[in-house]
A = this chain, B = another copy of it.
Amino acid sequence: MTTDCSDVQTPAVLIDEPRMRHNIHRMQSQTDALGVRFRPHVKTSKCVAVAERQREAGAQGITVSTLKEAEQFFDAGFHDILYAVSLAPNKVDRALALRRRGCRLQVVVDSMVAAQSLAGATQHDRQHPDVLLEVDVDQHRGGIDADSPQLLEIARFLHTQGLAPHGVMAHAGSSYACSTPADLQRVAEQERAQSVHAAQRLRSDGMPCPVVSVGSTPTALSANHLEGVTEVRAGVYVFFDLVMAGVGVCAVDDVALSVLTTVIGHQRERGWVIVDAGWMALSRDRGTQSQAADHGYGLVCTHGGAVIDGLVLSGANQEHGIVSCRNGALPAEDFATRFPIGSRLRVLPNHACATAAQHERYHVVQEGHVMATWPRFGGW
């Protein structure tokens, strides 16, 4: 049974199902063509139903950003899980508990201290997780330099402890700052080459290192080849967002996530439409602020999802959004008749991961009808 979108209480977050399906198949086709496994990052959706669709399309395993995600998805039948954040000593027990329950959990370390803490915790335990070493390919956040002596030191230490590195992983987060195909291809090649180089150093040193895992949505969609890589990870591609459109790896019309909102007022002299979606519904993410096109808190669309030229969510309080027109494309004096109180709009977000995180469920829509509501979870 479907319901009309007009019955949904606002604000609410919608998934445009045909767009999501298209995005899932696009990434799967891309990684298939590159000859690598695809392991989606479920931190974007935190939703079992979304991950099931990624798996049905051909994804193998999932990537998570928290142990809560690992636990929730394991309970939902996902057994091959990469926890892609350097494992803190205080999280080792929780990770091992998952492994003991039969989860094929892979963990990441990028320091001797983390390696030692993991080795200490697993020395009397036959069920230890597979370990990947994080490689720093772009000085973006964590990881070990592919050429550093530390890489081999940590790998050898793990090897002596019976925790031989299962592989290397890298995330070229700097790709989010790109805006041209040439830059994207350069960062993708850098991510690939340095990861493969790190793996080869380990292999030359006598360690098997079967896995070379790389990825971000921009690099996954920009790589010309992935020689030496075994798997790709990406998350935000499943919904896309305005930041990804600014980077150039999707069109605005590919964005599958939007916030449904109701007009609650006007300030005619200022050319404002006030809506009931503020930063609580959109998040405080202003990711397009540093891009060529700054979309405020989001691009405003009709109830049906068509972008309204020039209309942006220019301001956001907790439960109030201010819609205004940035280029004079629309006469502000018509706003009250064109967007009357009680009418509805959709807002495309800057950053799908951050916007989705503000909500407890998705309304899955197709041609204006709500086909399903899917729960998502938060917390750690």
Contact = CB atoms under 8 A, between A and B. Distances in A.
Q: Which of A87, A342, A351 has the most CB of B within 10 A?
A: A342
Interface string A93-117: 0100000000000000011011001
B284 A380 contact: no
A72 interface: no
Given A65-B318, A88-B262, A280 B357 contact: yes
A14 B226 CA distance: 45
Interface size class of A (residues with CB under 8 A): 35 or more
A165 interface: no
A341 B114 contact: yes
Given A141-B317, A319-B43, A342 B284 contact: no
A124 B263 CA distance: 26
Contact of A319 (B85, B110, B264, B319): B85
A86 B379 contact: no
Nearest to A94: B9
A181 interface: no
A201 interface: no
Give chain A's interface secondary structure class.
loop
| This chain: copies in complex | 2
Given A85-B264, A265-B142, A279-B354, A113 B342 contact: yes
Interface in A103-161: 110-111, 113-114, 117, 136, 139, 141-142
Q: Which of A264, A279, A286 has the most CB of B within 10 A?
A: A264
Given A111-B265, A267-B142, A117 B342 contact: yes
A341 B113 contact: yes
A320 B43 CA distance: 13
Contacts of A338: none
A260 B136 CA distance: 26
A236 to B, nearest CB: 10
Given A262-B90, A265-B111, A11 B274 contact: no
A191 B245 CA distance: 42
Given A65-B280, A357-B358, 12 more contacts: A88-B262, A88-B342, A89-B342, A111-B266, A114-B265, A117-B341, A139-B267, A142-B267, A279-B354, A283-B283, A284-B351, A360-B378
